[in-house]
Structure 1
């Protein structure tokens, strides 16, 4: 059920830009405030100016059918969804209506979901946005040419596993259109998080009449958001101008401050960072997806004129050590608990850049910013570990001279090798000998996602696709996610946990579901299949004239929809 491609690159690296003071309202032709977006720490952005986006991607695309971007990303400058995310600097991310009038209704416990579109919405070409356009946009994502992307809907919609898209004239009957404004989704099972799923890129409307060249549609899409693509040179530059048919009073999440957005593609990562550090000319109004390396932090931190423009996420990605519970040396829970006590998390934190840039030490599965997150520590050995307690547990288990393998990928960054060495050193303190095995990323991925992988332990990172415990707990710990490319690297299988996961997935009351996920988090850690290590932080720079850029607790990226330019 879960998307299977959410492993994340080790951080101390990031995608996020500086938090600066906001300006006036952007949702009016005047500079006077015209509406409250229900924010307490975030104002709207001033209208006007040109925003520059510096991209390290070889090419950017505004294709939604196979996109993995979150709903606060630059893709949403051009496209809207049925729902969207509202982020604030100091509050949890919430789900709000976008094209729809509400966040969805269900009358059967979450198996059937109904959304009604706002009336009067138009595409950039002047045609009305209808429920049929949303249905067609979703159906495109099933076409073989668009494999990839966030694919929860591809297993949840009835009949979806046998559907190959609309290009052979077939429709997916489980997406039902009633008139111009109502769309009904029929799912294979109750799924309480469906309102979050419909915020994902594939749920953007696409008029079938405009989809004459699907392979290149992402270069010249018909816009439903506040900007339209007016120029596109693949691998070079895209220019976005205002969509005259977008109406601010229909949109709860986009400020649409800049008059124009210029997106430059294929730039060298280090060159982007240096340009933002230098802060000259048009780079003063630039944001980017460049990764800041730990080696650059000292330079940035030493100069307030630069450090004031760097944002640092309050939360981030989940970094952990997975223990293969099917292996003889790790089948006893006391051994796994001992390893939890033994690991020196402070040293691992230092490997990733320290508490300020690397991340915060953690003892839970869910991360801050995910509803239901509750702080607890079942194996509190302090930040540096408790050697005596670990030795005591190993003795209780009758274990001595234990030898284990620790497998890790070698082609991501040097940090993972240092991380593995640190864990080896930690376990050596309690008499556990660890052999390190570095593998190329593809080989590593195949090994840890197969049921009979020949390894004892592996390091991993994970990022949730949407703010629910389901998006981390189910793919990493459900029995269904063992083998066939699944993310259950610890091979953890507990029928009671599986039943609890199924119940939480089905719960349509998201507040109640959050409490259920919190309980499951602790239930899993009682079996100690992993060692939670860090919540990895993300950082990045913005130009000195960028307004209203910040990193919420979730997602650990800047909200590109609310940015403004100080003129």
Structure 2
């Protein structure tokens, strides 16, 4: 079935669509009140310039201080709403035309937001000298043509269906001010940007602790700041975040699956909980270039030695399900089952090691210092022993962990053997496969996995407009990953959120917060 080209115009979505109350359309001073909101984020936003963005931490920050042509809705279903765009329409397989709302302003005297800013934003990502880590998000985009002060056209070399879901409303679609970037010397290098456009602005950064935001009095959009002050608080460990919320230091946090039953039966006073299906994917990866793991039979033995069911029961307390790949249920490309059963097979693992002539195998698993992942690692240690494999565990704080496989950050990738990792996800399968192509080796592809068919499928599926065909291609791509022996898929998890009931959280359908939508109850 072919997907119809999306069309959005201001008349259709004048009310801001679902998730934004009529009161949000009032002027800022009539709607926003005194107050402060503390939202926890699990990974610290540490990239000052959107062209350098690397994950959800930045997405949460940028959603509060910048604007996009369209942005995700808050609610239970994936959808998007107009933001800077008055209208935006896919006019052919390779063109998207947009018109901006007039009178949308940058802060601090930088004037009106124009189509030149939009073109400049995407041209920076395309510029090889910028070395943008979000370049894969824009796919086959070749250029942005400015056709008027408020209008322009995105041009693609080939059709790229994911652009609507992973670029326009997310990191790559964060519009920056051309004049401000040029004044800054070509890149934002300070925590306080020279200008912003969102409902909040940066007051200060306390590294390793929090971003402190305040209301942007120059904001001209229709989702004004509800709070005088918004703190994005970095706490990597969910157990620590729960303690912080119960102490009144947080208003909203994701909690660990192991706490769900306790918090549901005995919640802290004045709190509520919501549960959301997650798009995250958790897996155990093997560095294919490490001398211990170059033999595919050894990697396959490790796959069979990992009991996913036991991991989920202990680390996710049975509230999650085993995953079949990196693409979650409900999305194009989700596989009905994995090639290796979730319970594994210790005997098959022993047979594969014997075929490879390997005895007394010892391997090291690297994990984040997070109670869910450390528990999962301990379960792996016990169950893999049944296959005669000794698993050693190395636990890392966030700053150390996220540089393990990055060549630009040193040579530690050479000694990397196994990792338990978790990536965030968006509602298009290309956002999952993008990080495992050959060109991502040494950046996000820590398994150093390289397969020509996989690379081709990722590329062609991104330009395919037939959903049934895309589904087949992404399923096959995940088969290739699993057949390589470099991946053992664990779970997509769940997203349980705990918050004070005087707050109405704004979240994506997968439970991740959208700070700009938070309101008072």
Normalising by the residue count of structure 1, what TM-score does the alignment of the two structures yield?
0.68
Give, in angstroms, the shift of residue 102 of structure 1.
5.3
Give, in angstroms, the shift of residue 374 of structure 1.
3.4
Partner of 1:11: none
Q: 2:151 aligns with which of 170, 182, 190?
A: 182
Q: How far apart in 2 are the matches of 1:51 and 1:61?
A: 27
Q: Which runs of 5+ in 2 are unaligned?
A: 1-9, 25-30
CA offsets, 1:417-453, max 9 Å, x none? Answer: 5544433432321234556567864773258999996
Q: How far apart in 2 are the matches of 1:59 and 1:491?
A: 26
Q: How far apart in 1 are the matches of 2:462 and 2:358?
A: 42
Q: How far apart in 2 are the matches of 1:295 and 1:421?
A: 15
Which structure is higher in RCO with an 8 Å CA cutoff and minimum separation 6? 1
Partner of 2:325: 364
Contact 2:59 2:170 in 1 (8 A): no
CA offsets, 1:52-107, max 9 Å, x none? Answer: 22256899998644444659735324422123223532x3x235543335555364
Aligned CA distance change for structure 1 residues 522 and 206 (closer, same or farther; 3 Å):
closer
Q: How far apart in 1 are the matches of 2:456 and 2:411?
A: 21
Partner of 2:312: 349
SS of equivalent residue, structure 1 residue 445: coil
Partner of 1:115: 97
Contact 2:363 2:417 in 1 (8 A): yes
Aligned CA distance change for structure 1 residues 45 and 444 (closer, same or farther; 3 Å):
same
Contact 2:106 2:112 in 1 (8 A): no
Give, in angstroms, the shift of residue 504 of structure 1.
1.0
Residue range with higher mean Cα deviation, 364-373 or 50-59: 50-59
Q: How far apart in 2 are the matches of 1:535 and 1:441?
A: 20
Structure 2 counterparts to residues 191-270 of structure 1, below 5 A: 191-195=160-164, 196-209=166-179, 212=183, 215=189, 218-219=192-193, 221-223=195-197, 225=198, 227=199, 229=201, 232-235=203-206, 237-240=212-215, 245-246=220-221, 248=222, 256=224, 259-264=226-231
Partner of 1:557: 512
Q: Is 1:373 equivalent to 2:334 in the alignment?
A: yes
Contact 1:64 1:202 in 2 (8 A): yes
Contact 2:258 2:317 in 1 (8 A): no
Aligned CA distance change for structure 1 residues 377 and 66 (closer, same or farther; 3 Å):
closer
SS of equivalent residue, structure 1 residue 489: coil
Aligned residues: 484
Aligned CA distance change for structure 1 residues 240 and 534 (closer, same or farther; 3 Å):
same
Partner of 2:62: 75
Partner of 1:544: 501
Structure 2 counterparts to residues 134-145 of structure 1, below 5 A: 134-138=118-122
Q: How far apart in 2 are the matches of 1:507 and 1:430?
A: 43
SS of equivalent residue, structure 1 residue 521: helix
Contact 1:52 1:287 in 2 (8 A): no
SS of equivalent residue, structure 1 residue 309: strand
Contact 1:64 1:201 in 2 (8 A): yes
Aligned CA distance change for structure 1 residues 271 and 453 (closer, same or farther; 3 Å):
closer
Aligned CA distance change for structure 1 residues 432 and 502 (closer, same or farther; 3 Å):
same
Partner of 2:116: 132
Partner of 1:152: 136
Give, in angstroms, the shift of residue 400 of structure 1.
6.0
Q: Which runs of 5+ in 1 are unaligned?
A: 1-26, 28-32, 159-173, 249-253
Q: How far apart in 1 are the matches of 2:500 and 2:342?
A: 42
Q: How far apart in 2 are the matches of 1:34 and 1:506?
A: 31
Q: How far apart in 2 are the matches of 1:120 and 1:317?
A: 37
Partner of 2:473: 516
Contact 1:313 1:538 in 2 (8 A): yes
Give, in angstroms, the shift of residue 140 of structure 1.
6.2
Give, in angstroms, the shift of residue 458 of structure 1.
0.7
Aligned CA distance change for structure 1 residues 73 and 434 (closer, same or farther; 3 Å):
closer
CA offsets, 1:353-393, max 9 Å, x none? Answer: 4233xx432232222354332331322254xx4344545x5
Partner of 2:405: 445
Aligned CA distance change for structure 1 residues 362 and 275 (closer, same or farther; 3 Å):
closer
SS of equivalent residue, structure 2 residue 215: strand
Normalising by the residue count of structure 2, what TM-score does the alignment of the two structures yield?
0.73
